[in-house]
Amino acid sequence: MDGDDNAVLTFCVIYPDLLGTYGDGGNAVVLVARARARGIEARIVDVTIGQEIPDASLYLLGGGEDGPQRLACDLLAEGGLADRVRDGAFVFAVCAGLQILGTSFSIEGDATYPGLALVDASTARGASRSVGDIATTVGDHTMVGFENHGGVTTLGGEVAAFGDVLVGRGNDGHVDGYRGARLWATYAHGPVLAQNPWLADEVLEEVSGEEITPWPSVADWLYAERCATISTRR
């Protein structure tokens, strides 16, 4: 929980002015809503350019275009996020955020830039851009979302993929994202936690350290409908 107030979960959205193109800030909104539904106090803190990164229960990184992605990486290299992650901070990263946490990533013109090197994962430019639905098997669940990226991400031998791709490309057409201790990363937008209530609750349970009881809502019906649509395409 938040280092300043142990009674409140703080979800910190990193640079929504740079990594907010695809609505991934909605992941924090979902987590707060689902926490409060269980009687857990929670809040969102947005960190924009020029602001210090505060203590938080979970840091969220979203997707963005090439230029903003590079700038965000440069700022984060100086801003202390890497130290917080190495010290055990929870992180949920999507698309550009996934690439930034890795060792390197490529942007337009095939130029390669160093990432934060917190995860052994490198991203090169793919032969084509992947735009459309993505579905991934994650344990006993199917994770659904939308991807829009031109990268091909290669994981180091010690890095576990987040899941196996059923529809779309994800990292390379076979697996999507990666998973580590206190870390989730995926190419799925949506925002992905709004589309996958089971995943939102898994993240919330791990971050809060509390057992999360079921909370039936329209999100479950929409998720089931999306899974049914995906299954007819396989």
Domain boundaries, the chain: 9-231
**Model confidence over 75-96: pLDDT tens digits?**
999 888 988 988 889 999 999 9
List residues bridging with 90 in a β-sheet: 58
pLDDT of 1 strictly over 60: no
**Model confidence over 18-61: pLDDT tens digits?**
999 999 999 999 999 999 999 999 999 999 999 999 999 999 99
- From the CA atom positions of the chain, what is the Rg in Å? 17
CA 230 to chain centre: 21
CA 133/CA 31 separation, integer angstroms: 23
9-231: CATH superfamily: Class I glutamine amidotransferase (GATase) domain (3.40.50.880)
Other residues' Cβ atoms within 10 Å of the Cβ of residue 48: 12
pLDDT of residue 7: 77
CA 14/CA 12 separation, integer angstroms: 6
**Model confidence over 200-214: pLDDT tens digits?**
999 999 999 999 999
